[in-house]
Amino acid sequence: MPKTTIQVSKSKNKKKIVIGVVAVLAFVVAGLVAWLFWQTNQPHPLGDKLDYIGKDSYGYGISDGPPTTDYYYATDMTVDEVVAYFKGATNTKKGELETNFGKDITSMWLIYFQSKSSSENFTISYYSDGNLVAKNNDFKVSKKHILNINSREYDIAHKNL
């Protein structure tokens, strides 16, 4: 009979250890998720001529691809002024497209940059009608134009100001 008691005690200790390990892992995962949420919700400045106005996160579904965020900025700069604003990069290409917001259509420029100091590149989307984009995304703006950059390219763009 004493052997059975010892066996039960060992079993209880194993359960306590397993529960403790699971609790620690859950705490670590929760902390990482909270840190990631905090990081993606911080304002991301890009110099003094671009006002950060918000973000759009997507890609959290199974088929949407990896999670990412687009950061939005309001500006009064023209397309050519935006190109010149990123002094550490060379504009490799820019092209104008039309983009739809419901029934409304606005001009959107895709501006491609290559860093002068590395092989890194980044792309900026520049919307001519900032009010239309702001209305569609519930942003408050007081400037004419809006541009956005993907979070995966933000650091590259920031280094090339």
pTM: 0.72
Q: Which pLDDT value is given to residue 37?
A: 54
Helix (H, G, I), strand (E, B) or coil at 8: helix
Residue 127 tokens read as 């919307």
Q: Which pLDDT value is given to residue 13?
A: 78
Residue 19 tokens read as 């529960």
* Annotated domain spans of the chain: 1-42, 45-159
Our measurement of the distance from residue 103's CA atom to the centroid of its chain's CA atoms, rounded to an integer in Å, reads: 27
Q: Please name the helix (run of DSSP H) or strand (run of DSSP E) that holds residue 85, with its range, or none.
A: helix 79-85
**143 CB burial (10 A radius; 0-12, 13-18, 19+):** middle
**Sequence letter at residue 5:** T
Helix (H, G, I), strand (E, B) or coil at 53: strand
Q: What is the pLDDT along the chain (161 residues), one digit of tens a residue?
A: 555 555 556 667 788 787 777 777 776 766 665 555 555 556 678 999 999 999 988 877 666 677 888 999 999 999 999 999 999 999 999 999 988 877 788 899 999 999 999 999 999 999 999 999 999 889 999 999 999 999 999 999 999 99
**Sequence letter at residue 111:** I
